[in-house]
Amino acid sequence: MTDLHERYAASLMNTFGPPKLALVRGAGAHVWDADGREYVDLLGGIAVNALGHAHPALVEAVTTQLQTLGHVSNFFTTGPQVELAEKLLELAGGGPGHVFLTNSGTEANEAAFKLTRRTGRTEVVVAEGGFHGRTMGALALTSKEAYRAPFEPLPGDVVFVPYGDAQALAVAVSERTAAILLEPMQGEAGVVVPPEGYLAAARAIADEHGALLWFDEVQTGMGRTGRWLASEGVTPDIVTLAKGLAGGFPIGACVGLGAAGELFEPGNHGTTFGGNPVACAAALAVIRTIEDDGLLEHVTVLGQKIRDGLAADPRVTEVRGEGLLIGLDLSADVSAHVFAAALEHGFILNNPTPNRVRLAPPLVLTSDDAEAFLAAWPAILDAAYAQAGS
């Protein structure tokens, strides 16, 4: 495996730092490395592997579609493409709308960003601490200085306001504002949950000024929080999706509801791969499995159990999130040590900030795996705090 790490360093651009593991196989919520070590995957490819690894329904859908019709250009359409668009509109509340399909989250946000320009206004009001992707447009909407600074100048007319502060939003938004962009929970920030009523307040503020309300549900959407959309109950004009949508097959979607779905005209936007029938068949298989296996309910119940278990340790100062999107704060800046100690114990998790841990396991995570993790949790923290010498 050293060999693979050396070859990686010699052949792949160094954007991610050295890989933590070289993985060879997965099944359900479990993955194996090249030395045969088994891990419970509590990160799920960063909220992507909704059905875990190698789920038969996903394998079968992709295989069958690829054997039948793998790619056509967007001069043509296919059954899976139309069926997926219809299904996404149904899951987004059932009203009229139109979908633009992409290959990733950042592309879904690029499409949405361009869509907002079609209002005739240019300003976008965005929350600090949010993450919307790495392409130039999506990056312009992402506040993190370390991500932005090396790539200035970025597309302009973006105004940042503190997340969760409805008053600040009300002050910032005006008749100049094309759109308000918010994550229902900030995933990359370590699962930051806004105060009750924040999304509804954003809806009212957008309406008052004729601005669009755009929710980035790339991470929170498609059952992750125990609901199809984490924003359920507040209807946006635009919702962007990706990560879990096709359970690991690359896809993204920009869903425009009502009039927002009609802002693009022919020639305004495009993609070669977006909306290809294999990705759409994969997404349909994921959605069907979530429905048929009652996974929303499972996610809700199991997520609560995990949050309660994690919070029981006094070194955990706060636990946040819903369903299987879980973030927690530690009493010290030891999250990198927690990551390493968890790996030693056979669990993959994520350390988005120095004192925060994030879990986004497959929606099919079993109670047994969750219990095994909670049983190991105090020992993982013991090891991490000892390592850190704090």
Identity of the residue, 244 or 341, whose beta carbon is nearer to ligand PLP in the bound complex: 244
Q: Of residues 41, 100, 113, 131, which has the active-site annotation?
A: 131
User: Of 219, 276, 335, 350, which one interacts with ligand PLP (CB under 6 A)?
Assistant: 219
Residue 90's CB is within 10 A of a number of other CB atoms, namely 13
Is residue 114 annotated as a catalytic residue, yes or no? no
Identity of the residue, 112 or 285, whose beta carbon is nearer to ligand PLP in the bound complex: 112
Identity of the residue, 111 or 178, whose beta carbon is nearer to ligand PLP in the bound complex: 111
Q: Read off the tokens for 375.
A: 């049983």
Give least dist CB 98 to ligand PLP, A.
21
User: Which 118-147 positions form the footprint of ligand PLP (CB under 6 A)?
Assistant: 131-133
Is residue 249 annotated as a catalytic residue, yes or no? no
User: Which 158-217 positions form the footprint of ligand PLP (CB under 6 A)?
Assistant: 183, 187-188, 216
- Residue 339: partners with Cβ closer than 8 Å, 6 or more residues away: 349, 350, 351, 357
CA gap 322, 267 in Å, rounded: 40
Give CA separation, 15 vs 18, 57, 134, in Å.
9, 33, 12
Give least dist CB 278 to ligand PLP, A.
17
User: Of 124, 189, 218, 230, which one interacts with ligand PLP (CB under 6 A)?
Assistant: 218
Identity of the residue, 155 or 346, whose beta carbon is nearer to ligand PLP in the bound complex: 155
Buried b or exposed e, range 150-182, using 16+ CB within 10 angstroms: eeeeeeeebebbebbbbebbeebbeeebbbbbb
Q: Which residue is nearest to ligand PLP (CB)?
A: 105
The 222-261 contact track toward ligand PLP, x by CB under 6 A, reads --------------------xx------------------
Using the 8-state DSSP alphabet, how is residue 245 labeled?
G
| Cβ-contact 280, 133 below 8 angstroms | no
Using the 8-state DSSP alphabet, how is residue 15 labeled?
S
CA gap 326, 246 in Å, rounded: 21
Q: Of residues 100, 215, 216, 347, which has the active-site annotation?
A: 216
User: Of 81, 104, 231, 351, which one interacts with ligand PLP (CB under 6 A)?
Assistant: 104
The answer to whether 106 is annotated as binding is yes
Cα-based angle 70, 238, 267 (whole degrees, multiple of 5): 55
Give least dist CB 112 to ligand PLP, A.
10
Give least dist CB 320 to ligand PLP, A.
15
| Cβ-contact 293, 55 below 8 angstroms | no
Is residue 243 annotated as a catalytic residue, yes or no? yes
End-to-end CA distance of the chain: 33
Where in the sequence numbering do the catalytic residues fall? 131, 216, 243
Binding-site entries for pyridoxal 5'-phosphate: 105-106, 131, 216-219, 272
What is the contact surface with ligand PLP in residues (CB under 6 A)?
A: 104-106, 109, 131-133, 183, 187-188, 216, 218-219, 242-243
